[in-house]
Amino acid sequence: TLTYDTLRFGEFEDFPETSEPVWILGKEFNALTGGTGPTSDTGWGCMLRCGQMILGEALVCRHLGRDWRWVRDQPQRDEYISILNAFLDKKDSYYSLHQIGKYR
């Protein structure tokens, strides 16, 4: 499973082959990810998650090229790790729900 810890340490054994788009999935929030506020993204998160996936794909194409593919058991480029980190559900991640939700 792709989590903050696997991103931080660059372990991607369970990450799918990227002949498919960047996947950003809904989740339940807790005190570690958001503190007070909503407890899940049910009913409103789908639209924001779709936007995150589209932006993630655009960033991959722009910074890594359209022909770039994720390869199992090989180190990932720093640009790819930076793109994924930008979407973590953390208040300081550039494109997290926390950041997007500030401007709704």
Domain ranges of the chain: 4-101
Nearest to 48 by CA among 84, 87, 2, 80: 87
**Structure pTM?**
0.59
Radius of gyration of the chain (CA): 14
HSE-CB of 100 using CA atoms within 13 angstroms: 19
Tell whether the model's pLDDT for residue 96 goes beyond 80: yes
**pLDDT tens-digit profile of 66-80?**
888 888 788 888 898
**pLDDT tens-digit profile of 6-33?**
454 444 444 444 454 555 555 544 444 4
